[in-house]
Structures are given as structure tokens and as C-alpha cells.
Amino acid sequence: MTVDQAFAEYEAVRDVLPDVASARAEPVYRETLADLSDEFDVFLLDAFGVLNIGERAIPDVQGRVEDLIAAGKTVLVVSNAASVPLSSLVTKYRRLGYPFGPVDIVTSRQSLTTALGTQDDRLWGVMGGDADGLEDLGPVRTIQLLDDPDAYHAAEGFLLIGSATWTEDRQARLEAALAAQPRPVLVGNPDIVAPRETGFSVEPGYFAHRLAKTTPVSPQFFGKPYPNIYDLAFARLGDVDKSRVVMVGDSLHTDILGAHAAGIASALIAGYGFFAESDVPSAIKASGIAPSYVLTRP
């Protein structure tokens, strides 16, 4: 999927995204995170496109994160990372040179887990995720959605948390199962795409929006741009001045729109991630989603 195609996919689902005005009519252009240090006390950083592209750290960002922390800033990762448990993310970020521990990371998987705690007991069919790595979702019963049609009929609800091994055949089975018997669909990653070393990967949000078009089901989304993940972030932060908090991300429709829905400032990364080598001003104009700041790089 190209950036233009991905942008069009996000625009096509604007009716189910938060409906909020931009923070200001025209963004302020700066170079890096360092240029925002005096403006904010709390930095919420997206992962893909801000800290890393795929499995590689973006050069020099480790130093800028360390500088922010040394200056007394609070830095949290706020990510739509749903396919792996928190412990795996900590290991990944440490391998990439970032000093983040469990208390420094807020994910859409955690938002999903919170929601699961309010659900009736049921057997959940799971898209993605290691069958032996779902313990952090709580005491829920799960069955993997692979190639056995019986799993799609047996499930009493569905969790969409990872799409790396998802196929069109599996999507067709899920659509047919939901058309025959509507059941709850909870989406742990609202992203349509994610930037990786060789281009965009297609994420669970893409398949969830397709379900909404082809079945009677309205999926529930957990993660940016929806408020549930920001509620977790602010619960972690405690009593802070929202005017001194900025969300830094590479996507207008998730990071920036979500920040404005949460009532905080936003900074869009222009040179990496979603809009790398793309026309950011045109995308801002076309979407009507204007970040508070545009940074050349993290």
C-alpha cells in the first residue's frame, strides 16, 4: 500500500474517527524534539515513525530522548502496539538503545485489556498474537483464528490484535462468520498501516474497517486516536497541566487527531514514518487535521 492509498483509506473512515477541530489553523515548523523542550514538560512519543522504523531505531533519537529526560521532562511511549506483551516491548526498546521500562510505556493492548475486564465471560477468537503470549490480557478464554473454520463459528467474540499472519482467506472466513452470526469485535490496534523498512505493513484497523462495511458489526477500537489510550496515559501521569503535554507522532489520523481529541498539543514527524518523502502541507490541507507543530525529524 502506498502513502496515497493509506491516506485515502484513513479519509474514507473519518466518520468513525474522533470529530475534533485542529489545535491551530497553521502548524509551527521546527527541526527536532529538542526545539520543543522549553515548550513542554511531558512528551508522549509514538513508536513507529518516531522511535523506530520496523526493527531499526531512527538515528540520533536515542540521544534526544536522553536529553529530554536529563532536562527533567517526562517521556512516555504511547503506541498502538497490540500484538506483543509489554515485556517484549521493553526488550525491544532496550535493544534499540532507549531507556524505557514498563512504567514508561502505554499501549493499545493495555486499553484492550482494561475493556476485557468489563466484558462477560466468553470465548474470544484472536487475530494475531502468540497463543502462549496472551496471559497479560487477563483471565480470558481464547482460540486462535487460523485456517480451521470451526474456530470462527465457536468464538463468541473476536479480538483483532495483530495482522502479520492474517490472510485474505482468514478475512473471508471472519466476514462470513460475522454475517451469519454477529458478535462483538474488539480491535487492539486501530492503525490501518505501519511504516517498516520496506514500506507499509497492513494493520488490524484496515481489516476491522472492512468488517464494518461487509457485516452488521460495528467494531470497537482501542488505541489512538480514541480516548481510551489517552485516559490510560493521563492516569499514569497523574495531575499534569495539559497545556504542557505534547503528543509526537507520524500520522495525522491517529497521533494528531487523537491528541486534539485528548485536549493536548501535537507534533507531526515529516521526515520519517507515514509521510517520509511526502507532501505534508498538502496532506494537512486535504484532511483538515493540522498539528500544532511539524518536525523535520524526531
Whether residues 288 and 155 share a domain: the answer is no
Whether residues 87 and 58 share a domain: the answer is yes
Residue type, 64: R
Residue type, 115: A
Distance, in Å, from the CA atom of 263 to the CA atom of 232, rounded to the nearest integer, reads 14
Q: Which of 221, 237, 256 is the last residue of a domain?
A: 221
Whether residues 127 and 215 share a domain: the answer is yes
Whether residues 198 and 240 share a domain: the answer is no
- Looking at residue 36, which CATH number applies to its domain? 3.40.50.1000
Whether residues 128 and 163 share a domain: the answer is yes
Please name the helix (run of DSSP H) or strand (run of DSSP E) that holds residue 228, with its range, or none. helix 227-237
Short-list 139, 131, 108, 105, CA closest to 228: 108
- Bridge pairing between strands 193-196 and 199-202: antiparallel
Ordered per-residue pLDDT tens for the chain, 298 residues: 888 899 999 999 999 999 876 656 789 999 999 999 999 999 999 998 999 988 899 999 999 999 999 999 999 999 998 888 899 899 999 999 999 999 999 999 999 999 998 988 999 999 986 655 788 888 899 999 999 999 999 999 999 999 988 999 999 999 999 999 999 999 999 999 988 777 788 899 999 999 999 999 999 999 999 999 999 999 999 999 999 999 999 999 999 999 999 999 999 999 998 898 789 999 999 999 999 999 999 9
The pLDDT assigned to 22 comes to 61
What residues make up the domain containing 173?
Answer: 111-221
Three-state DSSP state, 148 = coil
Whether residues 76 and 122 share a domain: the answer is no
Q: Which of 160, 186, 221 is the last residue of a domain?
A: 221
Distance, in Å, from the CA atom of 250 to the CA atom of 195, rounded to the nearest integer, reads 9
Name the H helices within 155-191. Answer: 168-180
Whether residues 181 and 229 share a domain: the answer is no
Spatial neighbors of 92 by CB under 8 A, at least 6 apart, are 55
Whether residues 250 and 156 share a domain: the answer is no
Question: Per DSSP, what are the bridge partners of residue 202?
Answer: 193
Instruction: Please tell me the pTM assigned to this model.
Output: 0.92
The pLDDT assigned to 23 comes to 57
Whether residues 82 and 181 share a domain: the answer is no
The pLDDT assigned to 129 comes to 62
Whether residues 126 and 83 share a domain: the answer is no
Whether residues 87 and 16 share a domain: the answer is yes
Short-list 266, 283, 288, CA closest to 30: 266
Whether residues 167 and 228 share a domain: the answer is no
How many alpha carbons lie under 13 Å from residue 224 in its C-beta half-sphere? Answer: 32
Three-state DSSP state, 13 = coil
CB 182 within 8 A of CB 211: no
Q: Which of 194, 221, 248 is the last residue of a domain?
A: 221
Three-state DSSP state, 248 = strand
**How many structural domains is the chain composed of?**
2
